[in-house]
Amino acid sequence: MPIVTDEGFQADDWARAGETLSWRAGMIVPLDVAGCALDAIGDKGTIGIEIASGEEIDQALSYGPRVDLIAVRFEKFADGRFFSLGRRLRDAGFTGRLRAVGPLLPDQYAFARSCGFDEAEISGAHAAKKTEPQWRTAAESIGVSYQSGYSHAAQKTILEMRRAARRGTSAPFPSDDQLAVWEEVMAALDLPGRLSFFRSRIEGRIVFTTGFGLEDQAVVHAILTEGLDIDLVTLDTGRLFPETYDVWAATEKRYGVRITAIYPDQDELAALVAHQGINGFYESVEARKACCQARKVEPLNRALFGSAGWVTGIRADQSKNRNAMRFIEADRARGVVKSNPLLDWSRSETEAYAAEQGIVLNPLHEKGFASIGCAPCTRAIEPGEHERAGRWWWEEENKKECGLHTS
C-alpha cells in the first residue's frame, strides 16, 4: 500500500508481519506479538508496532528505542480520537516515526501531521480517489502546530502566532471555500478533535466564552484536558445565580486555572439603570435587549477584541436560530471565525459526556433549570417544555436571543 509523505507517494520501506514467515528487523508487527518479535531478532535491529487505542500506548513505549515506528490504525476517518494519539505519543517522548494507517482524506493527513504524525499508509483504492499533487498540497496547507517539534522548523507554533497577534499582526480572513472545507472536516471529528482542528487552522488568539452551563462545562473540560491554547473568558453580568459563581470557583480549582472575567462598562450600566430601573427589562423586549446589550453584548465585543477565533457551546437543537448555524462560520461583524463544536450534539449526549468525564455541573440543572443565564431572566422549566423556555419566559418564543449569537 502507498505511503503518503510531504513529498507525495512513496514505496513502503517496512514489511508487514503477514507478508513473511519469520520475524526480522524492519517489520511492523501487532502489539501483542512485539515481545516475541524482539526476542527473535535480538540485537539485529528495530521493529515497528501497530496500535489501535490509547490504552496500548504505555505498552508500545515500554519497548523503548527498539521500536522505531509506531503505526496508529484509523478504523474510520470520522473517529477523531486517533489524531490525539499522535499528540499523546509525542508528549510521552516518542521520537521515532509515527504513521497513520487507514482511510484518511488529504486535509486530514495535513491535520495528522500537525498532531505529530510523519506519514500515512492508505489503500491503493483510496489513493486513487485523490491525485498525488492533492496530497502534497494538503501537506503544505497546514501552517500551525501544537508545540515546537511537531512540524517543520519554518512553521510557527501556536504560542508564537499568539504573541504575534498581540503585537498587532493578523492572518487573512478565510474564504467561504476554506470555511466549507473546514466544515466538512470538523463534522467528522469528536469534540477534542474539533477543538484541536479549529486551533490548528486559526492563526492568532482564540477565545472561548463560558457561562458555566452544561454545554460550556463540556467544552472547558475538552480544552483543558487537551492542553489547547484557547483563552477561557466569562461575561460576569452582575446578575448571575450564586450557584453559577460556585461552579466558576469549582472549575478553576479542579483544573488549576483562572478564567478571565469581563464586566459591563460602569458608565453604560449606570445610564441603563437610571433610564429603565433595576428590573426594567421586564417592561418590554426593547428594554430587555438594551439590558443584554450593556451586560453581555458590549462586554463580549471587548472580550473578542484582537482575537482571530471564537468558540461557543451552542447546540443546533436549542432554537430555530441556532439550527441554522454551522460548525465553523464567519462572524464578520466581530472580525472572528466562530466555531460551534457541539452543534450536532443533543442534550442527552452532552449529559452523557459530562457524566462519563466527571465534569463539574451547576446544581440548578437538577432543579429544572435546563438553560442558565442571569437570575432574574431564568426560571425552571415544566415537564414537556423546551429547554430554553425558561429564558426570558415572559416574551414570545420567536427567536429569543440575547444578541451574542445573532448578526
Indicate which residues carry an active-site annotation: 402
Phi-psi sector, 384: left (phi>0), alpha (psi -120 to 50), beta: left
Alpha-carbon span 174 to 193, nearest angstrom? 20
| DSSP-based three-state secondary structure for 205 | coil
User: What string of DSSP letters covers 238-279?
Assistant: S-B-HHHHHHHHHHHHHHT--PEEE---HHHHHHHHHHH-TT
Name beta bridge partners: 157: 145
Residue whose C-alpha is closest to residue 174's, from 306, 337, 311 = 337
Residue indicated by cell numbers 462545562: 217
b/e per residue, 125-146, with b = 16+ CB within 10 A? ebbeebeeeebbebbebbebbb
Q: Tell me, what amino acid is at 404?
A: L
CB 107 within 8 A of CB 142: no
- Chain centroid, CA 184 distance in Å: 15
Angle in degrees, 0-180, between the axes of helices 176-187 and 191-201, rounded to the nearest 10: 160
User: According to DSSP H, which parts of 227-380 are helical?
Assistant: 242-255, 266-276, 285-292, 298-304, 320-323, 347-357
Alpha-carbon span 76 to 374, nearest angstrom? 42
Alpha-carbon span 176 to 174, nearest angstrom? 7
